[in-house]
Amino acid sequence: LTSVRYPGVRRGNYAQLSDRHVQHFRSILPKERVITETEDVAGYNVDWLRMVRGVSQIVLKPKITEEVSAILEYCNAENLAVCPQGGNTGLVGGSVPVFDEVIISTSLMNSIVSLDELSGILVCQAGCILENLESYLSERGFMMPLDLGAKGTCQIGGNVSTNAGGIRLIRYGSLQGSVLGIEAVKADGEVIDCLSSLKKDNTGYHLKHLFIGSEGTLGIVTKVSIQCPPSPKAVNVAFLGLDSFDDILRTFTEARSGLGEILSSCEMMDLLSLDAATSNLKLQRPIGEFPFYMLIETSGSNGTHDEEKLTKFLETLMANGVVRDGTVASEPSRIKLMWNLREGITGGLLHDGYVYKYDISLPHNSFYAIIPELRTLLPADKVGRICGYGHVGDGNLHLNITTPKFDPDVLKIIEPFVFEWTSKLKGSVSAEHGIGFKKTQYIHFSKSQSSLNLMVNIKKLMDPKGILNPYKVLPAQH
């Protein structure tokens, strides 16, 4: 069977769901957690961007690890393919089935197991929503080491499985460092307990890394142990207007040296990106019109000290003309308004029509050059918006192009151009969103053949029948 929606993608040789299978699932889970009504399953079949759509007939909602284990053991024995789903906010189509895979939703696995209030180490189930964890921790003087625009819906298990980056990575590093341990269930149902809660543990291979960023292809993450920093006592956000991308780099360099240890976010957006939030979502722009904007956040333990640093930083940049205008907020409600502008861009872009979305890592000195290049290559009468924004502090550009409707001629100009450009600069074709279903045929632009071969061997070892999230991450020929 070849997919009608995705020509060239063939259904693997898996079993078809039968009444007998459904009956068995009902013996593992209570009947309200085995969802088979078409209209109830529909939402789980389509991704957040509404671009990838499967035809699964069943969603299973386990609450505990043992239920996940029993489900996978049975699916493996019966050769039923499965698709693990967290908050379904992924942007590369990894969280929805391609054909009729059994959807395993972790949304009811949402208990907090423990918080050690001395070390700040949190242990929780995979289905906890990121924002709920943030609120739980903030009441106890801690915070999550990651934050992203999808926080109200995405789950920590999804974050770990995608190795999500986001807006705090510059300060707290990637999840590979903050996640201390993981409990996961292998394709055959075996529970792998590497739920260490230790900062230091060099006893053999670091197995947690098999699950961090493997997008549900090697196991289902059921619990996570994560190092949480103490909440800052003072947070300030500066929203800056600048004339050129060179000025953004100057500001970034100054932020690193001048703000140093209190710098907690360093984000950039061009005018057309900000416009997706202001025009399409009717949000208010806090300063005048400039070709570029930056959102810089500081978090620290002493408000007076932080304000002093931030004021000096801004005075220096305004005096030498690098920053043209800016506004600073320290009250939570104004800080939120500024972040809404940055975090609203992804949703705002959808109002343009079709979005061609790229998430690339590039060296800082060639970070923005692809945008003017694409503006010369793409026909102005067909394209709505070519814009760039992202985590400039981490070298991660979000390149987005929009057209009123999907246009294959426009796509032919963009791809493989964007991937070749990125590869020539030794960048990454997926900085933080992962490979999922949509990027599998481009993985080789960033991974050598020998690395890909090792990935295939690891997959075969952990999931010999290939039941876990098929058609995702690894290119089809493997």
x/- binding map, residues 340-359, to ligand FAD, per CB under 6 A? ------xx------------
Question: What is the chain's percent helix, strand, coil content, to nearest 5?
Answer: 35, 20, 40
Q: Which among 126, 18, 17 is positioned nearest to 62, based on CA atoms?
A: 126
Interatomic CA distance for residues 371 and 381, integer angstroms: 17
End-to-end alpha-carbon separation of the chain, Å?
A: 18
Which of the listed partners (ligand 2HG, ligand FAD, none) does 213 bind, with a CB threshold of 5 to 8 Å by partner kind?
A: none
Q: Which amino acid is at 255?
A: A
> Is residue 164 near ligand FAD by the rule CB under 6 A?
yes
Closer CB to ligand FAD, 21 or 472, in the complex:
472
Closer CB to ligand FAD, 306 or 463, in the complex:
463
SS (H, E, C) 452-473: HHHHHHHHHHHCCCCCECCCCC
Which of the listed partners (ligand FAD, ligand 2HG, none) does 348 bind, with a CB threshold of 5 to 8 Å by partner kind?
A: none
Closest residue to ligand FAD: CB criterion: 158
Which one of 17, 70, 121, 126 is in contact with ligand FAD (CB under 6 A)? 126
Q: Across-strand partners of 116? A: 121
Interatomic CA distance for residues 194 and 191, integer angstroms: 9
Which one of 65, 106, 273, 430 is in contact with ligand FAD (CB under 6 A)? 106
274: Cβ contacts below 8 Å, ≥ 6 apart? 285, 293, 341, 345, 389
x/- binding map, residues 385-414, to ligand 2HG, per CB under 6 A? -----x-------x-x--------------
According to CB under 6 A, which residues from 340 to 359 bind ligand 2HG?
A: 346, 357, 359
Are 149 and 340 within 8 A, CB to CB? no
CB of 359 to ligand 2HG, least distance (A): 6
SS3 199: coil
CB of 166 to ligand 2HG, least distance (A): 7
Q: Which two tokens stand for residue 324?
A: 């043209």
Interatomic CA distance for residues 452 and 461, integer angstroms: 14
x/- binding map, residues 65-104, to ligand FAD, per CB under 6 A? ------------------xxxxxxxxx--xx---------
Interatomic CA distance for residues 463 and 83, integer angstroms: 13
Residues of this chain that interact with ligand 2HG (CB under 6 A) are 149, 346, 357, 359, 390, 398, 400
Give the interface with ligand FAD as residue ranges (CB under 6 A). Answer: 48, 83-91, 94-95, 106, 126, 148-150, 154-155, 157-159, 161-162, 164-166, 215-216, 220-221, 346-347, 432-433, 436, 469, 472
